[in-house]
A and B are shown apart, each in its own frame.
Chain A
């Protein structure tokens, strides 16, 4: 008798506790299916549309963001460098290469919940493709660092993990015509101090 009650309690605790915890984890950390990954960059063309899956819908309802429409643009996120290590705000990174077709793009560093980092007074919070210096072959190099850098410098500040957000505006990348040249810049770690 007492053993049966105990077993029922165990089943109940697993059901409610496990179900709630896994749902919490899924809603707060999982971005939904249908991700488009190129190199270190991941985008979600269907997020925030009628076609998004239940996980993406649940997450959107918690964030309360205004997702970009297909005619507006598409955001890509880099969480790791090309060695697979998580991006750290105290480290310096080099973003080198070319970007996919778009009218223009913006690049900024954000925290895990994708809120743009404040790099401090008189420092640019983001770079965009119309102000950037390029090499002879059209490629660009952006240095992401808490310390001042020559060339294209994206300033960061503080400690902890960060996410690099590259948003392509007026781009055909989200469409599935297969005609788009998907070249994304590579993110490499230069150095880390502290």
Chain B
């Protein structure tokens, strides 16, 4: 009886260890995280519109039906990323995510400078250079320091009704994501 009790106890402790190990390892081995979703859209350094479709092998995206979005992935190891966009929409916001899909920075149209979408994402080292001499292209940009190499941004814009679809679509079309030389 004592032996059986001990076996059950070991089993429970083992279950706890397995539970913790699985939960901690899921983010590293998951093949359906935000990064693989973005990678399936297409090349890096380019905005792709975010689709809600149930593509084979992926889970459908939980996303507000009244919003349209575009995403771009980049690697700022060598050069900072420069994100711009032109247009008027009722509301837009942009988020910077690291490779794990964690939101590290976000702004909306009211917190941006003059309602314009213009930001530069740089590593701490590149930031020192940018503060010394700012390239003309990035004169009015919001500078974001991010200690990472690969990451992605998602721009989302509110579509209150069908009549705004075109306007919002052209705003997202105008968005560009290029290395800052």
A residues with a Cβ closer than 8 A to B are 3-4, 7-8, 10-20, 22-24, 26-27, 48-50, 52, 54-55, 57-58, 60-73, 103-104, 106, 108, 110, 113-116, 125-126, 128, 130-131, 165, 167, 169-170
Contact = CB atoms under 8 A, between A and B. Distances in A.
Most chain B beta-carbon neighbours within 10 Å: one of A67, A73, A125, A165: A67
Contacts of B106: 68-72
19 contacts: A11-B11, A14-B12, A15-B12, A18-B18, A19-B18, A19-B22, A27-B22, A49-B102, A54-B24, A64-B33, A65-B63, A70-B106, A71-B108, A71-B111, A72-B156, A108-B65, A113-B60, A113-B62, A125-B65
Contacts of B103: 48-49, 67-70
Contacts, number: 203
Given A67-B101, A72-B106, 4 more contacts: A18-B12, A65-B101, A66-B50, A67-B103
Q: Which 5 pairs of residues, A with B, have the shortest CB-CB distance?
A: A69-B106, A19-B18, A15-B14, A14-B11, A18-B15
Contacts of A165: 64
A64 B61 contact: yes
Interface string B16-51: 111101111011001011101100000000000010
Nearest to B161: A131
Most buried by A among B8, B12, B106: B106
Point out which of A20, A60, A73, A126 has the most chain B C-beta atoms below 10 A from its C-beta. Answer: A60
Contacts of A20: 18-19, 22
A72 B69 CA distance: 13
Interface of B: 3-4, 6-8, 10-19, 21-24, 26-27, 30, 32-34, 36-37, 50, 52, 58-67, 69, 71, 91, 93, 95, 97, 100-108, 110-111, 154, 156, 158, 160-161
A170 B104 contact: no
A114 B6 CA distance: 43
